[in-house]
Amino acid sequence: MAYLIAIDQGTTSTRSMVFNERLQVIALAQQEFPQYFPQSGWVEHDPEDLWQTTLSTLKAALAKAQLEAADMSAIGITNQRETVVVWDKDTGKAIYNAIVWQDRRTADYCQELKKNGSEALIQQKTGLRADPYFSGTEVRWILNHVEGARAQAEAGQLRMGTIDTWLIWQLTGGKVHATDATNASRTMLFNIHTGQWDAELLKLLEIPASLLPEVKDCAADFGITDPAILGAALPISGVAGDQHAAVVGQACFQAGMMKSTYGTGCFALLNTGAHAVNSHNNLLTTLAYQLNGQRTYALEGSIFIAGAAVQWLRDGLKIIQKASDTQALAEAADPNQTVYLVPAFVGLGAPYWDPEARGALYGLTRNTGPAEISKATLESIGYQTRDLLQAMQADSAGLKETKTVLRVDGGMTASTWAMQFLADILDSPVDRPQILESTATGAAYLAGLQQGICPAPEQFAKEWALDQRFTPTMNQATREQKYAGWLDAVRRTRSSLA
């Protein structure tokens, strides 16, 4: 029996999972780490926490599986995207905390890029927008604000990387500086049409090319782990940003197939095949995955707050004890109250792109309580997804299948209430697979594919298994009335800047 181990380095926790060659989960270890909010709108992680939780969950997962590192055929890595670290190539120490994808500190600079006309260039080359979400402006911020950083960067002393790159560097004992094309595609520095770092964008953002890692396919040789770390030298042979790994794990290999992952945020990706579809509806064009040097593209809708709004009910408002309490509360909510939560806690992502907007609750009465607020929270996930789907359908009118079944995954899909509301408000079936850990499965699959352990994509796709299909039951008039109320709530929440 061959085994694979996948690292899923997420926004709030790190998970490691041992899989057998049939991609069944044998063991899972998970560890949370601190979030740092040094100023309003800033979000940071300590890069050392990301590495140490990776190391300890790898060891814990192996121990739970009662296996040794030497029993593993390969490691796959998947990670929170865009979050970026800059470090010294000799000491291996980060020169500043990791700046997280949710961080808004470069909002003013992004506004400048819009005003001076650079956004069109960014969009045309990277498929992204001038938004603090992406790594490029955050790296520029580090080089401009950490004392001596710019001089060190220009002297070739520094390296940068998204979290896959940071972990590869650590696992290989500083020998390999590499990333995969999906992670590269989120930096705002990578030309998704040529598959290369882009000199013009590097110049625009004042980032020396010496900082950049080598870009590889998602299934490729990313180096061998230092044997001192896990007790054996293991090949790292699969890497993809978490949303791209989920596309693979959900076997969305055909153009027209779509997955939506509900974790901290929600990210819907529609496979558009070999064709990069230019969005006219405020979506992103990105890579779905890159295999054998061939790029497969996707349209992406990115929502910054999904499950994180449920966490806010638990940790901020303290009206629930655990996430699953929202189910009973939503069921008990007064049907005559129409409450909307616009969870713009860190601004609004697609399709609004309003970094300065902040969250709001509408329709409160003296009878509004935890039940109505919980229901509004679960509903906000459905409304935001409908915003994305409408934009995707408008953008991909040329595609063969524009109305497609949505494959969902991620922690929040445990909520049957939220999934039924999603199907209702989309007026489209929602498929929840048996394996909800699509992200880690995708990373393990990519590593196994490179090792010749896992089957080709067509065969792997046949093994995808349904847990439950949610079909719409809401009547059309109610659906449209509720959605119109949502659009109005969003309109009232937008900042004047957008």
Residues making up the binding site: 11-13, 15, 81-82, 133, 242-243, 264, 307, 311, 411
Amino acid at 407: R
- Return the range that interacts with ligand ADP (CB under 6 A); candidates 9-17, 59-67, 106-114, 147-155: 9-17
- Residue 136 contacts ligand ADP per CB under 6 A: no
Q: For residues 101 and 190, which CB has a smaller minimum distance to ligand G3P in the complex?
A: 101
106 is a contact residue toward ligand ADP (CB under 6 A): no
Length of the chain measured in residues: 498
Element (H or E) spanning 311, and its range? helix 307-311
CB of 224 to ligand ADP, least distance (A): 28
Tokens of 414: 């445990």
Q: Compare residues 238 and 263 and give the one whose CB is closer to ligand ADP.
A: 263
Task: Tell me the closest approach of the beta carbon of residue 152 to ligand G3P, in angstroms.
Answer: 28
Instruction: Please tell me whether residue 307 binds ligand ADP under the rule CB under 6 A.
Output: yes
Region for 273 from its dihedrals, namely left if φ exceeds 0, alpha if ψ lies in -120 to 50, beta otherwise: left
CA distance 214 to 221: 12
Q: Which of ligand ADP, ligand G3P, none has residue 323 at its interface (CB below 5 to 8 Å by kind)?
A: ligand ADP
Minimum distance of ligand G3P from residue 326's CB (angstroms): 18
Q: How many chain residues touch ligand ADP (CB under 6 A)? A: 18
Strands (E), 33-101: 44-45, 72-79, 84-88, 98-99
Residue 304, amino acid: F
Contact between 197 and 161 under an 8 Å Cβ cutoff? The reply is no
- Say which DSSP state 286 is in: E
Query: Which region, judged by CB under 6 A, interacts with ligand ADP, from 66-74, 158-166, 320-328, 337-345?
Result: 320-328
Near ligand ADP by CB under 6 A: residue from 95, 303, 388, 412: 412
Task: Return the residue of 13, 111, 402, 495 that touches ligand ADP, per CB under 6 A.
Answer: 13
Binding site for glycerol, residues? 81-82, 133, 242-243
Residue 326 binding result from ligand G3P, ligand ADP, none, given CB thresholds of 5 to 8 Å by partner type: ligand ADP
Q: How far is CA 148 from the centre of its chain?
A: 32
- The three-class DSSP label of residue 305 is coil
CB of 129 to ligand G3P, least distance (A): 13
How far apart (Å, rounded) are the C-alpha atoms in residues 190 and 183? Answer: 10
Interacting partner of 20 out of ligand G3P, ligand ADP, none (Cβ under 5 to 8 A depending on kind): none
Tell me which residues touch ligand G3P (CB under 6 A): 10-11, 80-82, 101, 241-243, 263-265
* 110 backbone dihedrals φ, ψ, rounded to 5°: -65, -35
Question: Are 263 and 410 within 8 A, CB to CB?
Answer: yes
From the list ligand G3P, ligand ADP, none, which binds 311 (C-beta under 5 to 8 Å, kind-based)?
A: ligand ADP
Distance CA 300, CA 361 (A): 27
Contact flags string 199-228 toward ligand ADP, x per CB under 6 A: ------------------------------
Three-state secondary-structure class, residue 270:
strand
Of 113-121, 130-138, 328-336, 407-415: span binding ligand ADP (CB under 6 A): 407-415
Please report whether residue 337 would count as binding ligand ADP according to CB under 6 A: no
Q: Which residues contact 120 (CB under 8 A, 6 or more apart)?
A: none
Q: How far is the CB of 6 from ligand G3P (least distance, A)?
A: 14
HSE-up of residue 28 (Cα within 13 Å, Cβ side) = 13
The answer to whether residues 173 and 230 touch, using CB atoms and an 8 Å cutoff, is no
Tokens 């705002």 correspond to: 188
Selected binder of ligand ADP within 121, 323, 361, 364 (CB under 6 A): 323
Q: Which of 172, 191, 264, 385 binds ligand ADP (CB under 6 A)?
A: 264
Helix, strand or coil, per DSSP, at residue 144: helix
Stretch that binds ligand ADP, among 66-74, 282-290, 318-326, 342-350 (CB under 6 A): 318-326
Please tell me whether residue 410 binds ligand ADP under the rule CB under 6 A.
yes
Strands (E), 352-490: 360-362, 406-409, 430-433, 466-470
Tell me how crowded residue 53 is: count the other CB atoms within 10 A of its CB. 22
Q: Which stretch binds ligand ADP (CB under 6 A): 52-60, 118-126, 391-399, 406-414?
A: 406-414
Other CB atoms within 10 Å distance of the CB of residue 138: 28
Type of residue found at 73: S
Near ligand ADP by CB under 6 A: residue from 9, 11, 83, 165: 11
* Integer CA distances (angstroms), 91 to 268, 374, 420, 425, in order: 38, 48, 51, 52
To ligand ADP, the closest distance from the beta carbon of 414 in angstroms equals 4
In the annotated binding site for ATP, the residues are 11-13, 264, 307, 311, 411
Residues that bind ligand ADP (CB under 6 A): 10-13, 263-264, 307-308, 310-311, 323-324, 326, 410-412, 414-415
